[in-house]
Amino acid sequence: MNIAKMMSAAANAQKKMAQIQEDLAKREVEASSGGGKVTVKASGAGDILSIKIAPEVVSADDVELLEDLVLSAVRQASNDAKKLAADEMGKLTAGLGIPGLPF
C-alpha cells in the first residue's frame, strides 16, 4: 500500500470513528440489580442517563443495601456501554487491514 492510500484510509477511518462516536452517544444500554429493583440507563458513550429505584427498596433501616444495588447497576451499565463501544470500534479497526488491530 502506498503512502497516499494509507493517508486516505486513515482519513476515512477518522471520519467513520467520529460517526461511530456520534451514534454511540445516541444508543442506550440498561442494567439492573436486585431483581430489577434498581435500573440504570447509560448512553453508548458511557454517560449515565437515568437511575430508577423501586419504592420498596428505599428504607432508612437498610441504606447500605440500596447503595450496593445502585452501585452494582451503575457498574453493569458502564461495563455494557464500554463493551458496546469496543464492539463498534472493533468493526472499524477490523476493516483497516492493519495487523494487530483491533487491539
Q: Where are the domains of the chain?
A: 3-94
Classify domain 3-94 by CATH number: 3.30.1310.10
Alpha-carbon distance of 103 to 99, in angstroms, equals 10
Could you report the per-residue pLDDT of 12-48, keeping only the tens digit for each? 888 888 888 888 889 999 999 999 999 999 999 889 9
Q: Identify the pLDDT of residue 15.
A: 87
Backbone angles phi, psi at 70, to 5 degrees: -65, -45
pTM here?
Answer: 0.73
- CB neighbour list of residue 45: distance below 8 Å, 6 or more residues apart: 21, 24, 25, 81, 85
Answer yes or no: are the C-beta atoms of 38 and 70 closer than 8 Å. yes
Q: Identify the pLDDT of residue 98.
A: 56
Residue 95 has pLDDT above 90, yes or no: no
Residue 99 has pLDDT above 60, yes or no: no
49: three-class secondary structure by DSSP? strand
